[in-house]
Structure 1
Amino acid sequence: MHGGHISPIMSDALVILGAAGIVIPLFARFRITPIIGFILVGLLVGPYGLGRMVYEVEWLTYVTITDPERLDPFAEFGIILLLFTIGLELSFNRLWELRRLVFGLGALELLIIGSLLAAFLSMMGQYWTGALGLGLALAFSSTALVLPIAGTKTPVGRAALSMLLFEDIMIVPIIFLLGALAPYAAAEEGASLLTTLWQGALVVAVMMIAGRFALPHLFALAARAKSPELFLAASLLVVIGASLATALVGLSPIVGALIAGLLIAETEYHTEVEGIIEPFKGLALGIFLITVGMGIDLTVIWANLGTILIAVVGVLVLKAVVTGVLLRLMGARRGTATETGILMASPSETTLIVMAAATQAMLIQPGTAQFWQIVTAIGLTITPLLAMLGKHVGKRVDSAPALDTEQVKDGKPRVIVIGLGRVGRLVAQMLEKHDQPYVAVDSDSDMIDLARREGYPAIFGNAARGDILDKLGMENCPAVILTMDEHVLAQQLVRKLRTAHPDLPIIARARDSVHATELYKSGATVAVPETLESSLQLSEAVLVELGVAMGPVIASIHEKRDEFRELIQHEAQLEHKPKLRTSSLEG
């Protein structure tokens, strides 16, 4: 700042923080997703909105962003942080379980949609190399929007995640392919791709080996210092370092971010890292969405309204139908296939990257690129609306019963069981045996369909999202039982329930004593570690087989269980005190 002049960076910061602090809460009040809010802010303050008037009205310079490229590094950082947090929610075991979907469903989805779009564009007069580049670009779906909407735990989220992971893997090979198709392409392109692939594989292998040994020590040092600043610095060091490592060898930086998240997910510090990164991820993603809004020129849209609408609808319908049919062929329910297909229908932020590569390679003309950039921006803008449409249509076509909370609105107090897997069913059976009214909730429609056929009072819904639990009568609920085997989700849900209902008994399933400690810190009334219970059952069986009387055995088992529970609760209380400063950033 000099001589009364405000630097563009300062005015950009004012606009972004104003959007995050004023506009977004306003949208939240009217139950409108912040995604649309950020895009509309970008449209309003960008070069095609109020930015057009800065020469006539000078003060608008301070509340507009006339050069969207200044925000590109921050927008890219937002997508990197998103992939990092996705990695934190996954694990290598879970990723291995998804391999069939990633390399089967993901590959088929990208190649079939890309080929169909390329064939259609070629028929419309586009030269085949440009048609191929555009077709592949438009086949991508938005990681930045789809996963925050769908999550990674539901059937829709798992299907979307597998396709998006394959798309992220294919970004680099596709960009190399477009470069090779360029009129001036040298013969070295193929060799360059091979070099990138072997160097990328080497970097990923080194990261995975070194990360398993180095990361626990790094975060242990940060945790011992009891400094939230140091913990944040360590987290950002890991994600930026991993992203730079993959970018240096020609791979996408988001691959490095995902691997960094997966490595930290294997440590005991992943919950703390996720909480401390969350606010930065949200703000950086907001910047990305503002840049999307800035790319929408309403005058160009109005001048070409008919053509643009046909292009948007054509892309959306083709992608939704192909994705839905592929999911059905791979065994997904009709509702899941329909909802996922509609959610994945819009183009992606990656579409813009691939399109830029095709333009640079002179495969498509700048005017053609601008047209499809507008189509992509519109598609991104309406993604939240597609999500709502997909959920509604999915419920209509699914044979599983739709969400029906009226049947439990009779005023009777009911225990709420969240999760109807192996553990949830056993809990439900015991409640029934002792005449305790309950209702079970699960986000897997297959599970709900089967459970209701077997007579369980079960309702389809995602307990982590929306107000589903309140609709089930939380004011009369005697207890909530969490049975899901999802480490992070269980803690988030316990924290949410405890905040909303301070006196509610919350009984949660834990993997082990470490997870139980985390659940107690989040607010669980009782956390039951599976490893402890299996040990106690084994001890009981051994003692009975050795001839010890059943009464004393059961009494000693109860005594040992209480002793362990008190020890875990005590550890949770001790750990909670020094971490208060760090944990305060989780909100």
Structure 2
Amino acid sequence: MEHTTSIFLEVVLLLGGGIVAGTLFQRIGLGTVLGYLFAGILLGPVFRVVADGEEILHIGELGVVFLLFIIGLELKVGRLWAMRRQIFGLGLAQVVLSGLVLAGVAFLFNFAWQASVLIGFGLALSSTAFGLQLLDEAGETNTRHGQSAFSILLFQDLAVVPLLAAIPFLAPASGDTAIDPVEIAISIGAVAALVVGGRYLLNPLFRLMATSGAREVMLGAALFVVLGSAMLMEAAGFSMAMGAFIAGVLLAESTYRHELEANIEPFRGLLLGLFFMGVGLSLDLAVVMRDWLAILALTPALMLCKAAIIYLLSRAFGETGNTATRVSGLLAQGGEFGFVLFTAASAGLLISEATASFLIAIVTLSMMLTPLTTWLGRRLSAEANGDEEVLDEDFAGAGASVLMIGFSRFGQMTAQVLLSSGTDVTIIDSSAERIRTAEAFGFRIYFGSGLRKDVLEAAGIRKTRLVAICTNKRETTDRIVDLIRADFPNVRLYVRAYDRSHALSLRARGVDYEIRETVESALAFGRATLDALGIEDELADRITEDVRRRDLARLKLQEAEGFYAGTDMITNRVVTPEPLVKPRPALKDIERSPTDDDAGASPEDGAPIKRRRGRPFGGRRRDFGKVQSR
């Protein structure tokens, strides 16, 4: 009974510590990850109120399993194939180069070459849990640097398998090191079983359970799929996290994907927080106190070395300086799989227990510094907020009478007019945030850039009757217009212009129609202002229409004679009582100043307009009975 009470007390302490520390650290801007670590250190090594830190760490590793399952749900096989260059190019290069460099450093510290290899490649791994959790908290999982970081972490998880398998071969006291063909067959069979089952059995299984209407059954099925696939891959010699990730990818196309994610998400958050607390609980303060100076010196050196390698490799693989900086700051730490490797190496007599504890302390401290290095990477990036989210370019069902490029406020209003008339519209936009917002209101938008010919073709530009370019930036609009005019010259172009000079440049490019984004809204605003000042409705309409016509005439004159032509058409001072133009001879008999006798006259051409009491235009009177544009 006392033992049970003790377990419950530890659970309560862990929950309370995680709640308090996570909330406090999130409020001060350091993130919940560092808060969980801090709570674990206080409850374990400092006050010793919670024991069995390693057991809690093992349980918390299920949080990493659930996290990778959810990530797999967000990825499709096609998306993974599109990322193959980053995963098997950048990821492979990072593991190999970082491992060799760090192994060379370990060899200089008089370690045997076998131990040096394991130490180097063990420290080359980064923390999947920390990296992905920080990306998730910041909403940066689908950014460019988030995708690069994920690619590296995914390959690192794959690399754990051969590294663990290499320990018996590197161990000096190893016996039989022959490759067992049965184990290889089991591994291949497990992967094949997971792929086949995920492709052909899971969807019918979930469909059957969904018809029962029992929510707890669906919850149990979700947990069964995640844990079952993880254990199957572990039995095959792979990591549990990798098994869960494969299961998630196989279910990414499932119609039950969102329900699975909603069921798993609470467990993921809770267990991942428990994992971080377990890292803090398992910290060996005795080793830290004994070798604290070496740990404090080597930890920043390790992180600087890894950050430099990741930065250079990211640049070599075509990433921008901003992306490379963000990725290097995010993945500079050691990883949780290092705990597994160093413990296994100690059991295999590759390294001593003291060395394993020393290395684990370095990895743990580097994890604790990860929020700081991530923040530094964000600060050092010249355009930290310019990293756009990346979504799948899936154009299934695209192709309509109108292809709209850009869906900001201008495009949204235009789309409502077209859709209200029953016109079918294909909309593409390159902002993932805008797409998510629009989809919440029921719009169907495709992710893609109008600057790419292949995207335009996939969106159905060869079949469309008209292309409406509603992008925000003038430079972007011009590049899209030039691309379409060069590759699709027969397409009609209706374009949003930024300002007057942009409208003139678009006319020079041969667009079919262009409009400045503020013209009609400014005219409507001025018309409403006239109404508020007491101007008669019909007079206000004539004034507004006169300004519109003179503006259009001036634009045509500027197109022919240059930007500064037609300046006399601009009304830049208070109007005088005289007409805008000299009256025509045929109208002289009706062109007269308004008098009280005109109160009942109808507002025909040439007839004066009945005014309200009061004198608008500063007390001056003016006849707009026959307004003409200059």
Same fold (TM over 0.5): yes
| 1:70 and 2:70 are equivalent in the alignment | no
How far has the Cα of 1:17 moved from its partner?
1.9
Q: How far apart are the structure 1 equivalents of 2:197 and 2:3?
A: 48
Show the counterpart of 2:270.
Answer: 283
Verify the 8 A CA contact 2:34 2:371 in the aligned structure 1: yes
Paired residue for 1:184? 173
SS at match of 2:10: helix
Shift of 1:434: 8.9
Matches within 5 A, 1:152-551: 152-187=141-176, 189-192=177-180, 195-298=182-285, 300-395=287-382, 401=383, 403=385, 426-427=405-406, 431=410, 483=429, 494=437, 507-508=438-439, 524-528=440-444
* Cα distance change of structure 1 residues 23 and 107 upon mapping to structure 2, 3 Å threshold: same
Structure 2: give runs of 5+ residues left out of the alignment. 396-402, 416-426, 448-457, 467-630
- Distance in 2, matches of 1:237 and 1:258, equals 14
Q: 1:26 to 1:425 in 2, by over 3 A?
A: farther
Q: Summarize the Cα distance change of 1:425–1:248 in structure 2 as closer, same or farther, 3 Å threshold.
A: same
Q: 1-side partners of 2:19 and 2:332: how far apart?
A: 31
Q: Is the 8 A contact 2:56 2:278 kept in 1?
A: yes
Matching residue's letter, 1:526: G
Q: Distance in 2 between matches of 1:167 and 1:252?
A: 11
The reply on whether 1:136 has 2:121 as its aligned counterpart is: yes
Query: What secondary structure does 2:443 align onto?
Result: strand
Identity of aligned residues (%): 30
Report Cα offsets for 1:336-380 as digits up to 9, x if no partner: 112111211100101111111111111111111111111111111
Indicate the larger mover: 159-168 or 195-204: 195-204
Aligned letter for 2:36? Answer: F
Aligned to 2:524: none
Q: Does the 8 Å contact 1:482/1:490 carry over to 2?
A: no
Q: Provide closer, same or farther for how the CA distance between residues 17 and 418 of structure 1 changes in structure 2, counting only shifts above 3 A.
A: closer
Query: Which residue number in structure 2 is paired with residue 38 of structure 1?
Result: 36
C-alpha separation between the residues in 1 aligned to 2:290 and 2:348?
Answer: 28
Distance 1:419 1:426, change over 3 A: farther
Q: 1:117 aligns with which of 102, 110, 128?
A: 102
Cα distance in 1 between the residues matched to 2:384 and 2:35: 30
Aligned partner of 1:29 in structure 2 is: 27
1:28-72 CA distance string (max 9 Å, x none) = 3333311011101100001x2111xxxxxxxxxxxx211213313
- What residue is the counterpart of 1:61 in the other structure? none
2:47 corresponds to 1:50: yes
Amino acid at match of 1:427: G
Cα distance in structure 2, aligned partners of 1:89 and 1:180: 38
8 Å CA contact 2:64–2:129 kept in 1: the answer is yes
Q: Is the Cα contact below 8 Å between 2:429 and 2:445 reproduced in 1?
A: no
Q: Post-superposition shift, 1:93?
A: 0.8
The answer for unaligned runs of 5 or more in structure 1 is 52-63, 396-400, 405-416, 437-480, 495-506, 509-523, 542-587
Larger relative helix fraction = 1
Which of 1 and 2 has greater Rg? 2
TM-score w.r.t. the length of structure 2 is 0.63
Distance in 2 separating the partners of 1:11 and 1:33: 26
Distance in 2, matches of 1:530 and 1:325, equals: 34
1:374-410 CA-to-partner distances (Å, cap 9, x unmatched) read 1111111111111111111122xxxxx5649xxxxxx
Instruction: Rate the CA distance shift 1:235–1:482 in 2: closer, same or farther, 3 A.
Output: farther
The structure whose RCO (Cα within 8 Å, separation 6+) is larger is 1
Secondary structure of 2:50 counterpart:
coil
Runs of 4+ in 1 over 6 A off after TM superposition: 417-425, 432-436, 533-541
Amino acid at match of 1:19: G
Q: Structure 1 residues 425 and 49 mapped into 2: Cα distance closer, same or farther (>3 Å)?
A: farther
> For residues 195 and 127 of structure 1, what CA distance do their matches in structure 2 show?
32
Aligned residues: 432
Change in Cα spacing, 1:266 to 1:421, as seen in structure 2 (3 Å) is closer
Preserved CA contact (<8 Å) 2:334 2:367: yes
1:24 to 1:227, Cα distance in 2 relative to 1, 3 A: farther
| C-alpha separation in 1, matches of 2:446 and 2:321 | 35
Q: Tell me which amino acid in the other structure corresponds to 2:125.
A: F
